[in-house]
Chains A and B, each alone.
Chain A
């Protein structure tokens, strides 16, 4: 029993954390009324994906993938996912910036940042 628990949860807890974070993010995206909170949810969702990438690039006992002089041997973690995620982080930042600026515009125009209120105001016009 405990062994199975260890096998499924504890030995892979980083993936579980990624899944939990992803669900928190999706929940916030769907259930929160406030547009800014929705965007925060989106950020949590993206962070979960980043953590997933970083998790699977880990090699047990591996060190940072730095170029070593000839003859020195070392075990590296896989550097490729790190590079991919660097790109994805930039994308995430840009999306957040666009989203926040849209929220600012919506607030200037309608004076609300709550989704239900917004729908009412938009329909009312």
Chain B
């Protein structure tokens, strides 16, 4: 059974998406349970695979029995088993959260297709994570992208159509670049298997074809992860999408795109290429630092909670790309830890934003004065996850930033490390802004709005509070996570 888990991880959810569609025709109420069960099963499978990989080493599966250079291979090593567990855990949290949020935000007749697309998105992302074939990666990327375009537009707000269209245009250009990059790699080596590419590419590192392929792939995936100057689609898409979709794409989709970029840069091209042959890490480090600062400043300038969090995501992506720029063991451990940490805390923060929209119908700061009085639990969760975002010990955000700075210092990048810490200070600026509005917003106003606490439904509170507490627990027990992260970082650098 365990041998066949990797393909089942993709095949079963795709069938279940079809099942949701068929059953939804009969009765809409069955859609949600099927979706929940499927994602829970996927999460269970991911955990089983993670345990298997940590015990036995890399798991390989040849689809249809065709051996790798010809056939498509699923490869799960210490890096992507970790990512897979993270993204499916967050998918579970999101799908629990989604039920009530969807009831509020999506028209009843659209709910069936919403869950179908939701399922396809999660499946596409899981597929991107476990595939060992670079063209297969592109196909799964497009499955998840198309599902995302439609999901963003599924809100009642008409602005979401415009946001979705802009994302569609930029996302398709990105996908086109990725396709071109893959084509160039195929021209240079004649193979599409990632492991095979890593073996064959060093012979042609000098070729212009390979440089072109690398640049196309780098730019394409940079658009997908919203790396700073290419982030223009992100704020609108995150702000206008329904709350549950924002949670999913800001945590799961962004992380999988980052994963794919790391996979291409480190596994397909290896560190020897990005540091010696085609020195690009210094440039990435510079842009990443700019992204950290610029994202944070733009976040401070916003006056809408969801939009502020969207810009904060741009800043946080900068942190992860910072690890790619430094490219040593400690920094990569920090970066991988931040993939988990940012997914958990940003998931929690967007859940708070979604809950506020659920109750208040808006997330503009001017309407949220003193909201901590009516929604104490949500605001407390925000404060906890926000503390993690700033990097206050003992949260997970502190641990990842600690490793990132340590890595930068080890590489001798003093200036970048200093600017990086400045970015954390700016993060304190935008997080504090909401805290101040929520807790002290109406200190001079009248006290007649002493309404009793009106939190959201339990099914939305539980995942939110769970993620907030997880920020704390993961920070305290960071060594447990490091068990999974350390071999992954080593693998990326070409070690065991």
- Chain A interface size, as a band, is 20 to 34
Would you call A98 an interface residue if the criterion is a C-beta within 8 Å of the partner chain's C-beta atoms? Answer: yes
The 8 A CB mask of A85-100 against B (1 = contact, 0 = none) is 0011001001100110
Query: Which of B2-10, B57-65, B161-169 sits within the interface?
Result: B161-169
B130-163 contacts to A, CB under 8 A, are 135, 138-139, 142, 146, 149-150, 153, 158-159, 161-162
> Number of B residues whose C-beta is below 8 Å from A?
25
CB distance from A117 to the nearest CB of B (A): 12
With CB as the reference atom, state the residue of chain A lying closest to B152.
A102
Please report the C-alpha to C-alpha distance between residue A29 and residue B171 in the assembled complex, in whole angstroms. Answer: 12
Is B187's beta carbon under 8 Å from chain A? Answer: yes
A97, chain B: closest CB distance, angstroms: 9
Q: Mark A19-56, 1 if CB is under 8 A from B, else 0.
A: 00000001001000001001000100110010011001
Please determine whether A102 and B179 come into contact, CB atoms closer than 8 angstroms.
Answer: no
List the 9 closest A-B pairs by CB distance, nearest first. Answer: A109-B158, A91-B142, A102-B165, A105-B161, A106-B161, A98-B149, A99-B168, A56-B187, A49-B179
Query: B173 on the interface (CB 8 Å rule)?
Result: yes
- A122 contacts B by Cβ under 8 Å: yes
B176 beta carbon closer than 8 Å to chain A? yes
Knowing A26-B173, A45-B176, A110-B158, say if A105 contacts B153 (CB, 8 Å). yes
Q: Please determine whether B173 and A45 come into contact, CB atoms closer than 8 angstroms.
A: yes
- Chain A residue numbers with a CB within 8 Å of B139 are 87, 91
Beta-carbon contact of A98 and B150 below 8 Å: yes
| Complex contact A106–B179 (CB within 8 A) | no
Q: How far is the CB of A95 from chain B (nearest CB, A)?
A: 5
The CA-CA distance from A46 to B139 in the complex, in Å, is: 15
Indicate whether B183 reaches chain A with its CB closer than 8 angstroms. yes
Q: Closest residue to A39 on the B side, CB-wise?
A: B169
Residue of B nearest to A50 (CB): B179
Q: Which residues of chain A are near B187, meaning CB under 8 Å? A: 56
Q: A81 and B180: CB pair below 8 A? A: no
SS class, residues of chain A in contact with chain B: helix
Question: In the complex, what distance in Å separates the CA atom of A106 from the CA atom of B161?
Answer: 6
CA separation between A87 and B182, bound complex, in Å? 14
Interface secondary structure of B, over-half rule? helix
Contacts A84-B135, A91-B139; A102 near B169 (Cβ below 8 A): no
Pick the contact of A102: B138, B149, B183, B186 (CB < 8 A).
B149
Besides A87-B135, A98-B168, A109-B161, 17 other A-B contacts (C-beta < 8 A): A42-B169, A42-B173, A49-B176, A49-B179, A52-B183, A53-B183, A56-B187, A87-B139, A91-B139, A91-B146, A95-B142, A98-B146, A102-B153, A102-B161, A102-B164, A105-B161, A122-B162
Contact A94 B146 (CB under 8 A): yes
B172 at the interface (CB under 8 A from A): yes
Contacts of A103 in B (CB 8 A): 165
**A49-B183 contact in complex given A102-B153, A102-B168, C-beta closer than 8 Å:** yes
**Separation in Å of the A19 CB from the closest CB of chain B?**
10
- Report Cα–Cα, A109/B155, bound state, in Å: 13
Q: Do B183 and A56 touch (CB < 8 A)?
A: yes
A88-B179 contact in complex given A46-B172, A95-B146, C-beta closer than 8 Å: yes
Q: List 5 interface pairs A-B (beta carbons < 8 Å), by A numbering.
A: A81-B183, A88-B179, A95-B142, A98-B168, A103-B165
Interface residues of B in 181-195 (CB under 8 A from A): 183, 186-187
Q: Which residues of A contact B142 (CB under 8 A)?
A: 91, 94-95
CB distance from A88 to the nearest CB of B (A): 6
Across the interface, B173 reaches (CB within 8 A) one of A29, A52, A98, namely A29
Q: Which listed residue (A35, A46, A80, A105) contacts B176, Cβ 8 A?
A: A46
Q: How far is the CA of A109 from the CA of B150 in the complex (A)?
A: 17
Closest Cβ of chain A to B190, distance in Å, is: 9
Separation of A98 and B145 alpha carbons in the complex (Å): 11
Q: Which residues of B contact A98 (CB under 8 A)?
A: 146, 149-150, 168
B177 shortest CB reach to chain A, Å: 9
Quick check: A99 and B165 within 8 Å, CB to CB?
A: yes
**What residues on A are CB-neighbors of B158 within 8 Å?**
105-106, 109-110
Instruction: Please encode chain A, from 108 to 125, with 1 for each CB lying within 8 Å of some chain B CB and 0 for all others.
Output: 011000000010001000
Q: B138, B139, B169, B172 — which one has the most chain A CB atoms within 10 A of its CB?
A: B172
B153 touches A95 (CB 8 A): no
In the assembled complex, the Cα of A38 lies from the Cα of B168 at a distance in Å of 11
Compute how far the CA of A21 lies from the CA of B179 in the bound complex, rounded to whole angstroms. Answer: 16
Residues of B within 8 A of A80 (CB): 186
**How long is the Cα–Cα vector from A106 to B146 in the complex, in angstroms?**
18
Q: Are A52 and B180 in contact (CB under 8 A)?
A: yes
For A118, give the chain B residue with the smallest CB separation: B162
- In angstroms, Cα B186 to Cα A68, docked, is 26
Residues of B within 8 Å of A42, CB to CB, are 169, 172-173
Q: Shortest beta-carbon distance, A113 to chain B, in Å?
A: 10
Residues of B within 8 Å of A91, CB to CB, are 139, 142, 146, 175
